[in-house]
Amino acid sequence: MPQPRVLILRAPGANCDVEAQFAFEQAGGLAERLHINRLRENPKLLHQYQILVIPGGFAYGDDVAAGKILANQLQHFLGDALRRFRDREKLILGICNGFQVLLKAGMIMPPDDDGPLATLAHNAHGRFEDRWIFMQATAGRCVFLKGYQRLHLPIAHGEGNFVCRQEWILKGLEQAGQIVLRYVDSEGKPGPFPINPNGSQGDVAGVCDPSGRVLGLMPHPERHVLPTQHPQWTRHGLAPEGDGLRLFRNAVEHFR
């Protein structure tokens, strides 16, 4: 397949769909943006694509909870279509608000009889965080993170605090290799705020599903695709590419 097709799902309040499209185009994919209402009208449109992206922003204004309204739409109107998409070994990516959506829709870890296993709550200090952070990657089976060790990406969120319902759930995710990104400092060491910018349990910044084909992460790789997007590129010198580009290239090359 010479050029995998990427569907970037738009919803009212999403504001990073154009950046996600640009990132996938830079990585060699054929990316298109589509409104959630068009997909609800015709779920079979998913068959035309190999990669699905839920971009960042504030879907439906986060009026109920971050990503919850869009998550309910995906779960109740498109749940079967999305599960078939995933089970055909296609890829799903959720960035920031998209991570919140995927997690609350049960696409990364399905709920049990007692409800969701984990959620993304308000930042522990109660403030919106907009800064650049480092992450340590443990790619394992995660398709998107192959070749990564450490990333430097921006964050911009008020509800990025990853919280598991019970401590054993977090340990289970660790043992299963689903915790693939953690907040660290420039030397790869964990620490309190501001190294961990939101108070996430286990310093969790990104989680994948058991297959490694569904990834949700809070930081924005689409905002560091070009080296000049880094705020200190003139001080440190121009890198060959931004830290986020490999993530999109990994997804595209998965289908080549």
| Range list of H helices, 27-78 | 36-41, 68-77
Catalytic residue among 16, 19, 96, 224: 96
Its pTM stands at: 0.97
| Measured CA angle at 141 (ends 240, 45), to 5 deg | 85
Scan for tokens 């965080």, then name that residue.
129
Helices 245-253 and 17-26: crossing angle in degrees, nearest 10, is: 60
Say if residues 151 and 135 touch (Cβ distance below 8 Å): yes
pLDDT at 167: 94
Kindly list the structural domains of the chain, giving each domain's residue range(s) and its CATH number in brackets, ordered by start. Answer: 5-253 (3.40.50.880)
The amino acid at residue 233 is W
Over 80: is that where the pLDDT of 141 sits? yes
In the residue annotation, 96 being an active-site residue is answered as yes
In the residue annotation, 222 being an active-site residue is answered as yes
Catalytic residue among 122, 157, 220, 230: 220
In the residue annotation, 220 being an active-site residue is answered as yes
Q: 183 vs 25, 43, 244, 248, CA distance in Å? A: 28, 36, 15, 20
The token pair at 203 is: 């310093």
The token pair at 72 is: 């309910």
Catalytic residue among 19, 159, 222, 224: 222
Give tens-digit pLDDT for 86-121.
999 999 999 999 999 999 999 999 999 998 999 999
